[in-house]
């Protein structure tokens, strides 16, 4: 997948997580959009190993070094890198103060891995084992299928965010306002 698709997938992943897994009814729409924005940028992190990627261009020397040592879609596209990053973040940042930010980064990073697993090249999720995981029905990065996939996940995002904005952002509040929640 290309950077815009990863960013949309990251934002969508946060919206879906926020809406269905861990609603924060006290969050304002501005906070929600801020979290989605951070998650969309975090979704670019695995491509730090590609010097011509959106993120790689911003930190070219680091990206070039990682690319020379590990190649593209190498270690940074693996579960080893994901868990290593999570360990590092939770070690240096107190969970009480930065737990939400760590969760946002984790969701963004994982959304990137999921996005790349659906491409024909797949991912070496168990790096340093070179086997590449993919699914039987893949989408060509940058092709028409990728564009349709992007449109679909953008619609999912809009479908999750719009009701949150209108009805208090928590599924229970939304159901209650629609009269669909059981009364005790």
In whole angstroms, what is the distance from residue 35 CA to residue 181 CA?
A: 28
Give the count of alpha carbons within 13 A of 172, CB side only: 8
Mean pLDDT in residue range 147-153: 66
Q: What predicted TM-score, i.e. pTM, was given to this entire model? A: 0.77
Kindly state the DSSP code that residue 178 receives in the 8-state scheme. Answer: H
Confidence band, pLDDT 50/70/90 cuts, at residue 181: very low
Average pLDDT value over all residues in the chain? 79
In whole angstroms, what is the distance from residue 62 CA to residue 46 CA?
A: 13
Mean pLDDT in residue range 18-25: 74
**Domain residue extents for the chain:** 3-178
* pLDDT at 23 (0 to 100): 73
In whole angstroms, what is the distance from residue 184 CA to residue 166 CA?
A: 24
Render pLDDT for 88-123 as a digit per residue (tens, 0 to 9): 999 998 777 888 899 999 999 999 998 888 888 889
């Amino acid at each position: 997948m290309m950077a815009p698709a990863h960013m949309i997938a990251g934002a969508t992943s946060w919206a879906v997580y926020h809406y269905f897994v861990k609603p924060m009814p006290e969050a304002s729409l501005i906070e929600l959009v801020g979290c989605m924005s951070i998650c969309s940028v975090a979704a670019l992190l695995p491509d730090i190993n590609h010097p011509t990627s959106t993120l790689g261009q911003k930190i070219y020397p680091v990206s070039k070094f990682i690319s020379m040592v590990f190649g593209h879609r190498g270690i940074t596209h693996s579960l080893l890198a994901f868990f290593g990053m999570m360990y590092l973040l939770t070690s240096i940042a107190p969970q009480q103060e930065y737990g939400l930010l760590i969760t946002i980064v984790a969701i963004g990073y994982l959304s990137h891995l999921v996005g790349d697993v659906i491409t024909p090249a797949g991912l070496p999720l168990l790096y340093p084992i070179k086997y590449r995981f993919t699914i039987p029905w893949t989408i060509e990065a940058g092709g028409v299928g990728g564009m349709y996939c992007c449109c679909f996940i953008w619609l999912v995002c809009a479908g999750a965010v719009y009701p949150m904005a209108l009805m208090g952002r928590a599924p229970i509040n939304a159901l209650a306002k629609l009269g669909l929640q059981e009364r005790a």
